Amino acid sequence: MVKENVSTDALITQIIAGIEDVKGNEITILDLRDIDNTVTSYFIICSGTSNTQVNAIVNSVQRKVSKELQENAWHVEGAQQAEWVLMDYVDVVVHVFQKQTREYYDLEGLWGDAKVSTIESTY
């Protein structure tokens, strides 16, 4: 669980670095803070090209956040199938999708009122 002294910005920075370390793509941040009755402040959504890459992204994020911030996800779900893995860091929820699953569930569309930021890949 994320400690009070770890800033949300630092957490987001480390999550994105973990995604980029293993070439996760289509990284999007949804800022949900201005939407009533949300369960978290931010969604970070990204895509992997296969089950193997989805798991690599999840492992990379967990390692990076643990090493840099000494934090662990409160809950991780979906790692067995690796088509949609949810990592709950309380204030930030990370969604790692395979492309077709991401298109099907369209979280960006469901949360259309959120402020959207797209992270440009550096590779």
pLDDT tens digit sequence for 25-46: 999 999 999 999 999 999 999 9
| CA-angle at 73, arms to 88 and 94, nearest 5° | 40
Any idea which residue has 């967990």 for tokens?
62
Question: Does 19 have pLDDT greater than 60?
Answer: yes
Alpha-carbon distance of 66 to 17, in angstroms, equals 12
Nearest to 115 by CA among 25, 15, 6, 34: 34
Average pLDDT score over residue span 72-87: 96
Closest listed residue to residue 108, CA positions, set 11, 48, 32: 32
97 close to 48: Cβ distance less than 8 angstroms? yes
pLDDT tier for residue 120 given thresholds of 50, 70 and 90: confident
Q: What is the pLDDT of residue 121?
A: 76
Q: Domains for the chain: give ranges and CATH numbers.
A: 8-119 (3.30.460.10)
